[in-house]
């Protein structure tokens, strides 16, 4: 079979994948319009598994067409060159490269994983870039006026349902923008709006993303759109702060559902709005997590080539299930499942794999770090500290092998590195401690609302992000909240003690919320802050009610931005101030 036909076969597999992926995503607007939140979650989950299914399907087609037991180097070199020619003007060329890599790497041994046969480095850096204008539309208030232009922007985004009071929403937007961006020229004839054509859907919200270009510079913004409890849509908030925008696109949230014909153009537009976000982070955020993996791995290889620091054991308490290590100047941790677990962990490797996948497929509500799985990661042995190498050989020997000057990790997870909460609290100010403990309790509540029981709630299993948010990152004991049995601590009488009847039967799924106060919060100062802010978390009734809410589909809104940014909150504050003034 000719190389060109094989290249076309692989590209056809990618084309089918992308077409179906976009078709799945295109169901999000109607699900949002009808408030079908289960459908939104189903779309998210389906998209995550869809990629691997299409890769496997393409591999089977290849095996039916040509022998793949051995790699014929000249043939596959030509296949790659032919494939490359097909990508010259392809609107999803970078994703097609990654798809090719996935197919090839599942067919052949890793000794062939080099630029001769796969796209370790992209070949697109010198190709004609897709114009970012392909993904946005510009609006000019000088033509029709500011208010009509804003209305036109919202009208062009078909939410498939009407707004409750769009005139009020537009007034709120204009007042908020003047307050939040006072240095931007606000006269209509002095500005232009660049708006992404499609809204970003996630959970119970939709987001309009764009920027104002004026003679004073560029001001990015995000508009949050929600359903009103009494019917109709309304604009809930305007976000212009760079840090708030980065949190909305953060690594602890579910991937957005957004339709795009040119992902690279969409990514570059977002990168202009949030320059500190890497391509890997932005591809993840818009749902292309496989491309995010590719971009991250290239970033990792580039870092290794440009640096000299060595892998060391990651700061924090040593894990009982995972061996965790890091490069001191690279903001990620590498996690490998240990060969054997502590006796307090009555489960095995398969359970850990399933629980990490559970989190991957679930709504992470901004409180659970995203993870990426990698296989056969090759690390130069000289880049691993002697202490760490000794630890790795003692704890993960079945998951690694040493080959000459390299260490090959057969399976690992990579996460964004955070400061472990227990370590953070040791050096935090009084104000920082107070904020962290309140946010720790809030993190627990938000996970419960999403039907997640974190299992091990010790402070060492939570991290502090650079935006000072508390995020959970240890998933080996994660389970669905609805699978747990919440009980009050048994009361033991003297008669029970003397009769030997004090021992209560405790099942594996039994949880005693009161123990959160006893065993997790051992520091009296932390106990006091937590008890004052979240006393309900120490009661069985709260956890049982959280279970009932999940079962009865009482979906609580979790806002990825501060309450004080909400227009409803601002209006309530004004009413309160007027009453106090009277």
The pLDDT tens digits for 135-184 are 999 999 999 999 999 999 999 998 999 999 999 999 999 999 988 888 77
DSSP 367: T
| Mean pLDDT (whole number) for 40-67 | 92
Question: Confidence class of residue 315 from pLDDT cuts 50, 70 and 90?
Answer: very high
Beta strand pairing call for 400-403 and 419-420: unpaired
Spatial contact of 448 and 546, defined as CB atoms under 8 Å apart: yes
Answer yes or no: is 463 a known binding residue.
no
Q: Which of 370, 439, 474, 476 is the catalytic position?
A: 370
Helix count and strand count (H, E) for the chain: 21, 19
Residues linked to residue 409 through DSSP beta bridges, in sequence order: 377, 400
370 catalytic residue (yes or no)? yes
Question: Confidence class of residue 208 from pLDDT cuts 50, 70 and 90?
Answer: very high
The SS3 assignment for 136 reads: strand
CA–CA separation, 141 and 144 (whole Å): 5
Question: Confidence class of residue 421 from pLDDT cuts 50, 70 and 90?
Answer: very high
| pLDDT of res. 575 | 45
DSSP 376: E
| pLDDT of res. 68 | 78
| pLDDT of res. 502 | 46
pLDDT of 581 above 60: no
Residues linked to residue 471 through DSSP beta bridges, in sequence order: 463
Spatial contact of 61 and 13, defined as CB atoms under 8 Å apart: yes
DSSP 520: I
Beta strand pairing call for 470-472 and 479-480: unpaired
Answer yes or no: is 317 a known binding residue.
yes
Answer yes or no: is 217 a known binding residue.
no
pLDDT of 399 above 60: yes
Answer yes or no: is 441 a known binding residue.
no
Rg of the chain taking only CA atoms, in angstroms: 26
CA–CA separation, 186 and 168 (whole Å): 19
Question: Confidence class of residue 415 from pLDDT cuts 50, 70 and 90?
Answer: very high
pTM for this prediction: 0.92
CA–CA separation, 170 and 141 (whole Å): 14
Element (H, E) at 372: strand 372-380
Write phi, then psi, for 95 (nearest 5 degrees): -70, -35
Whole-number average pLDDT of the chain: 91
Element (H, E) at 360: helix 349-361
Question: Confidence class of residue 215 from pLDDT cuts 50, 70 and 90?
Answer: confident
pLDDT of 574 above 60: no
**Cβ of 371: how many Cβ atoms within 10 Å?**
19
| pLDDT of res. 500 | 52
| pLDDT of res. 507 | 74
What proportions of the chain, in percent to the nearest 5, are helix, strand and coil? 50, 15, 35
Answer yes or no: is 287 a known binding residue.
no
pLDDT of 11 above 60: yes
The SS3 assignment for 330 reads: coil
Question: Confidence class of residue 576 from pLDDT cuts 50, 70 and 90?
Answer: very low
Answer yes or no: is 314 a known binding residue.
yes
The SS3 assignment for 394 reads: helix
**Cβ of 308: how many Cβ atoms within 10 Å?**
8
pLDDT above 70 as % of the chain: 95
Residues linked to residue 71 through DSSP beta bridges, in sequence order: none
CA–CA separation, 127 and 82 (whole Å): 15
Could you read off the pLDDT of 472-525 as tens digits, one per residue? 999 999 999 999 999 988 765 555 545 554 455 577 888 888 888 788 888 999
**What residue spans of 66-122 are helical by DSSP H?**
73-86, 93-107
| pLDDT of res. 184 | 73
CA–CA separation, 356 and 347 (whole Å): 14
Q: How far is CA 22 from CA 17, 152, 174, 399, 436, in A?
A: 9, 26, 34, 36, 40
| Mean pLDDT (whole number) for 215-229 | 93
Q: What sign results for the dihedral spanned by CA atoms 249, 254, 257, 261?
A: positive
CA–CA separation, 235 and 253 (whole Å): 21
Element (H, E) at 223: strand 217-227
CA–CA separation, 424 and 443 (whole Å): 16
| Mean pLDDT (whole number) for 559-582 | 68
Question: Confidence class of residue 577 from pLDDT cuts 50, 70 and 90?
Answer: very low
HSE-up of residue 275 (Cα within 13 Å, Cβ side): 2
CA–CA separation, 79 and 74 (whole Å): 9
Question: Confidence class of residue 129 from pLDDT cuts 50, 70 and 90?
Answer: confident
Element (H, E) at 300: helix 289-306
């Amino acid at each position: 079979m000719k190389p060109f036909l094989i290249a076309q076969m692989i590209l056809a597999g990618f084309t089918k994948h992308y077409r179906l992926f976009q078709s799945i995503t295109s169901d999000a607007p109607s699900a949002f319009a009808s408030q079908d939140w289960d459908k939104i979650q189903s779309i998210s989950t389906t998209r995550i598994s869809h990629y691997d299914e299409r890769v496997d399907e393409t591999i089977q087609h290849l095996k039916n067409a040509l022998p793949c037991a051995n790699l014929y180097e000249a043939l596959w070199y030509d296949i790659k060159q032919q494939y490359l020619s097909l990508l010259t003007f392809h609107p999803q060329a970078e994703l097609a490269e990654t798809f090719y890599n996935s197919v090839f790497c599942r067919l052949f041994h890793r000794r062939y994983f080099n630029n001769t046969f796969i796209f370790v480095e992209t070949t697109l850096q010198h190709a004609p870039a897709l114009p970012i204008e392909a993904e946005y539309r510009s609006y000019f208030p000088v033509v029709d006026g500011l208010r009509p232009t804003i209305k036109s922007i919202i009208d062009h985004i078909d939410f498939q349902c009407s707004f409750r009071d769009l005139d009020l929403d537009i007034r709120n937007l204009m007042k908020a923008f003047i307050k939040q961006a006072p240095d931007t020229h606000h006269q209509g004839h002095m500005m232009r709006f660049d708006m992404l054509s499609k809204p970003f859907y996630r959970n119970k919200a939709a987001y309009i993303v764009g920027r104002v270009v004026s003679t004073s510079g560029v001001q990015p913004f995000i508009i949050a759109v929600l359903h009103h409890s009494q019917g109709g849509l309304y604009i809930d908030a305007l976000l212009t702060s760079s840090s708030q925008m980065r949190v909305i696109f953060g690594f602890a949230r579910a991937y957005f559902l957004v339709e795009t014909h040119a992902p690279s153009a969409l990514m570059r537009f977002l990168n202009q709005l949030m320059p500190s976000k890497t391509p890997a982070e932005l591809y993840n955020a818009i749902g292309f997590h496989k491309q995010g993996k590719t971009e991250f791995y290239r970033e990792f290889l580039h870092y290794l080539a440009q640096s000299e620091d060595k892998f060391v054991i990651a700061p924090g308490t040593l894990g009982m299930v995972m061996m965790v290590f890091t490069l001191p100047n690279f903001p990620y941790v590498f996690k490998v499942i240990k060969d054997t677990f502590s006796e307090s962990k009555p489960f095995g490797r398969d359970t850990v794999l399933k629980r990490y996948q559970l989190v991957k497929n679930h709504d992470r509500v901004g409180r659970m770090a995203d993870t990426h799985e990698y296989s056969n990661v090759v690390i130069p042995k000289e880049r691993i500290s002697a202490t760490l190498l000794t630890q790795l050989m003692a704890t993960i020997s079945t998951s690694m092998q040493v080959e000459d000057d390299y260490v090959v990790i057969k399976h690992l997870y990579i996460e964004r590195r955070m400061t472990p909460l227990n370590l953070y609290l040791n050096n935090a100010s009084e104000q920082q401690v107070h904020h962290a403990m309140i946010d720790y309790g809030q993190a627990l509540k938000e996970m419960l609302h999403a039907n997640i029981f974190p299992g091990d709630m010790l402070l060492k299993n939570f991290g502090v992000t650079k935006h000072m948010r508390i995020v959970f990152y240890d998933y080996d004991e994660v389970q669905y909240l609805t699978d747990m049995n919440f009980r009050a601590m048994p009361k033991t009488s003297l008669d029970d003690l003397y009769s030997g009847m004090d021992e209560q039967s405790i099942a594996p799924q039994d949880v005693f919320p009161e123990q959160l106060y006893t065993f997790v919060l051992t520091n009296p100062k932390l106990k006091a802050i937590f008890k004052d802010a979240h006393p309900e978390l120490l009661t069985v009734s709260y956890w049982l009610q959280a279970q009932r809410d999940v079962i009865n589909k009482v979906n609580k809104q979790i806002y990825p931005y501060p309450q004080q940014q909400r227009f409803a909150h601002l209006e309530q504050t004004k009413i309160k101030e007027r009453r106090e003034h009277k």
